[in-house]
Amino acid sequence: MGKPRKNQLGPLKSNSEKPIGPATALNSSSGGFKFQEQLLSPVLVNLMTAFIIFLAVALLRDQIYPLVLPHPKIPDFPIYCSSEAYLNDAGEQVGEIYIANLKNKSFSEMDLRSFITEQLPENAKAPDHLIRVFWVRDVGEMHLEEDVAFNRGKGQLAIKNPSGGGKEASIDVLDINRNALLRVIVHTNYVRPITRSDPALPFRLETPRKD
């Protein structure tokens, strides 16, 4: 009998003992990257969305806040406002804002702000300005001007006009005599006839008074 033949293939290795080559390691690493990408993508999208919303609120604060968080109304607030409009010779709408002191008592700006603070509900924010004027048309703009001659000897106003394409102006009463009536002129470049079918003013007022 001859000698047994040697196994020329060498000892067999289990698949579990197969060494991991560079290609296998690369595939495993790529899978990890894909998993991390899938995990982080929704997070990045949410962060970007939150940033865009924050930026929009910051830039459009004056337009958004009055709609979302309107200032509370104060019963028996002594200052009453009304407005009307007419057409000038160029066909542009001109507005008039009347500010009336309904009390037989003079008020300073501090008096009016104290009145508001004392009447505010708990945790409510006091308005930054006594009277806010909002431009409500898609085109055109406004410019407010105190009628100095009309107001002489009756009180003083502080007016802040829109800037940088803004649509909000403000009026603060610095002082007003008892039972006095003050007037502000609203100049506009808005051309549109005032008719019974469309009597709306190109602006609206927001005041602390609850009528």
Reading the chain (211 residues) residue by residue, the pLDDT tens digits are 555 555 555 555 555 555 555 555 545 555 555 555 665 667 666 777 877 776 765 555 555 554 555 566 787 899 999 999 888 888 889 999 999 999 999 999 999 999 988 888 777 777 888 999 999 988 999 999 999 999 999 999 999 999 988 999 999 999 999 999 999 999 999 987 666 655 578 999 999 887 6
pLDDT, position 192: 78
Q: Examine the domain organization and report whether 44 and 127 are in the same domain.
A: no
pLDDT, position 56: 63
Range of the structural domain that residue 172 is part of:
75-206
First to last CA, the chain: 123
- Burial of 188 (C-beta count, 10 Å sphere; 0-12/13-18/19+): buried
On whether residue 152 sits in a domain, the answer given is yes
CA distances from 176 to 26, 93, 110, 154, 181 (A): 80, 28, 12, 6, 8
Q: Examine the domain organization and report whether 82 and 165 are in the same domain.
A: yes
**Model pTM score:** 0.65
Contact, 98 vs 181, CB < 8 A? yes
pLDDT, position 211: 67
Q: Examine the domain organization and report whether 169 and 88 are in the same domain.
A: yes
C-alpha 133/C-alpha 142 separation (Å) is 10
pLDDT, position 11: 54
pLDDT, position 106: 97
Ramachandran area for residue 140 (φ above 0: left; ψ -120 to 50: alpha; else beta): left
Q: Examine the domain organization and report whether 48 and 99 are in the same domain.
A: no
On whether residue 106 sits in a domain, the answer given is yes
On whether residue 30 sits in a domain, the answer given is yes
